Structures are given as structure tokens and as C-alpha cells.
Structure 1
Amino acid sequence: MQEISDRDIRSSFINATRSETAKLNLPPNFDHLDWDNLDFLGWRDEKMPLRGYLVVPAEGGLTGILLRAPEGGAKKNRSVLCEMCRDVFSKEDVFLWSAKRAGQPGRNGNTVGTLICADFICSANVRKAPPANEINPDPAVVVKRQIEELRERIGKFLSRVAE
């Protein structure tokens, strides 16, 4: 992912009002992000912990969506698989994040949701090389495939929000 500016982020949202994007707080480490190892920029708002943001590069520019976490966070009595990175070894919390649909459907209250790592660490998860084995003798090939699949799943979720 290429480095992006605060202004680029705020103007990319397809399901948020101008006042909502004006109030968003950038991630605390924004000036020091490892852009080369990010497939999307995702973060939770420090001042509004039930609010999350995804900003994804696309052919036509950036697409941003405003997300909402469930009240009370994740349930601790069972493990849930993130739909984006599908990392079966991650011990991180996974939330059912919901997003208002873009345009009139969103203004009518329609939402879509998906399971995503609570702290949006999917880009790091897919870059973990698995041990070589008979099924996957080259870990680099597995990592490349996982990155491509993450990007595809993020794109599909953005399409559902934009419908």
C-alpha cells in the first residue's frame, strides 16, 4: 500500500457523513506505519472504541468505510475465525464489525457485517510464513496466496457496502 495523507483518508469514505469523517482520529502510529506491509489501513478510534475504519486502495483511488463494533466486544467463551485473514493460529479477538451501506440504503438503516480481527492485524497475519511441509513445500508461495486472498475478501466486503 502506498503512503496516504490525512486528507486522502477523510475524503475516501463511502458510508460516512462529513461530520463523522471530520471527527475521526487517525491511528496513533500513523506517521510511522509500515506501508509496504499493509494491504489496507484499518484501525479502531481511540476516543470512540466502538468505531473502526477501513481504508483500502483500489483502481479508482481509496475507498474508506466506517465500521461499528458490537457493544461489549468479543465473547470470550469461544474462538471465531476472521473472515478476512482466516488465520487459524491467531489468538486475537475477532469482532462482528458492521457497516452502514453507502448511499440511500445506508440512510434507510441497512447494514452489512463481517468478522474481522478486532485490531485489524490481518495484513500481519497473512504474512506469517507457515512451516514447510509436504502440502506446502514453499512458504513464500503460501504467503503470496494469503495476501492475494485477503485483498480479494476485503474487496468483496467493500462491494457489499457499496451496493
Structure 2
Amino acid sequence: MQKITVQQIRSSFINASRSEAARLNPPQDFDTLDWDRLDFLGWRDPKMPLRGYIVFAPDGGKPASIMLRAPEGGARKNRSVLCELCRSVDAPNDVYLWVARRAGQSGRNGNTVGTLICADFECSANARVEPPANEIHPDPAAVVLNQIAGLGARAAQFLSRVRE
């Protein structure tokens, strides 16, 4: 992902008002992010923990940001679920049903779309974990490249669902 500024993020929201975008708090480590290892930027608002943000910049294009809401009380502890974006089987983190207002008039009418995403948006890191070499996957580096491509495709699909 290309490096972007907080102002670019604020101006790229497709489902938030200008005042909501102006109130966002960037991630605490924003100035030290390793942009080369991010497929999208996602974080939970440190001052509003039920609010999350995802910024996509498909193929280095213009960024598109989405404001999300997490469920009150967090994830249910009686079952494990798979993140729809990274689909990491071995991820140690929780997965939440994050919900986003749809863009445009549909969102103003109260329509939303939701998907299961890692609670703290660790998807880019999860996709880069190399599996052990075995008969099925003799080249772990190729598996990682495939995981990264899948993450990008599924993130773009979620973005298009919010835009509908």
C-alpha cells in the first residue's frame, strides 16, 4: 500500500459524514507504519473502541475509507469464526462481525453490510505468515503470495458491497 496522510484518509470516506471523518483518531503508530507490508490500513479508534476504520487503496489508486462498528461485548467466546478477509486458520486473534453503513442514499436510509474481520485488523500480518513446507504446499513463499492476492481481492469485494 502506498503511504497516505491522515487528511487523505479523512477525505476518502464513502460511508461517513465530514464531521464523522473529522473526529476520527488515527492509529497511535501511524507515523511508523510499514506501508510496504499493508494490503489495507485498518484500526480501532482508541477513543471509541467500538468504531473501526479501513482504508483501501486498490493497486495504488485513490484511497477509499470505510467506517465500521463492532458489536457491543466483543466476540462470542463459545465458537471460533474465520476472518472473511485474511481467512487465516491459525490466527490467535478474535474475529468480530464488523458492520458498515452503505454508501450514499442507501446508507442514509439505514442500510448496512457486515462481514467477519479480525478484531484489530491484523489481516495483512496474518496473510504473510508462511506455512510449514509440506507435500501440499512445497513452496511457502508461493502460498504467502496467494494469501496476499486473496486478501486484496476479498477486501476489494467488501469495498464494492459497501458502495452498492
TM-score, scaled to structure 2: 0.98
Aligned residues: 163
1:106-136 per-residue CA deviation (whole Å, 9 max, x = no partner) reads: 0000000000000000000000000001111
How far apart, CA to CA, are the structure 2 residues paired with 1:149 and 1:70?
Answer: 26
Matched residue, 1:68? 69
Which aligned runs of 4 or more in structure 1 are off by greater than 4 angstroms? Answer: none
How far apart, CA to CA, are the structure 1 residues paired with 2:147 and 2:92?
Answer: 18
Matched residue, 2:23? 23
How far apart, CA to CA, are the structure 2 residues paired with 1:48 and 1:41?
Answer: 17
How far apart, CA to CA, are the structure 2 residues paired with 1:64 and 1:134?
Answer: 40
Which stretch shifts more, 71-80 or 150-159? 71-80
Matched residue, 2:117? 116
Matched residue, 1:7? 7
Matched residue, 2:45? 45
What runs of 5+ residues in structure 2 fail to find an aligned partner?
none
**Matched residues, percent identical?**
69
TM-score, scaled to structure 1: 0.98
Matched residue, 2:142? 141
How far apart, CA to CA, are the structure 2 residues paired with 1:73 and 1:13?
Answer: 25
1:141 maps to a residue whose letter is A
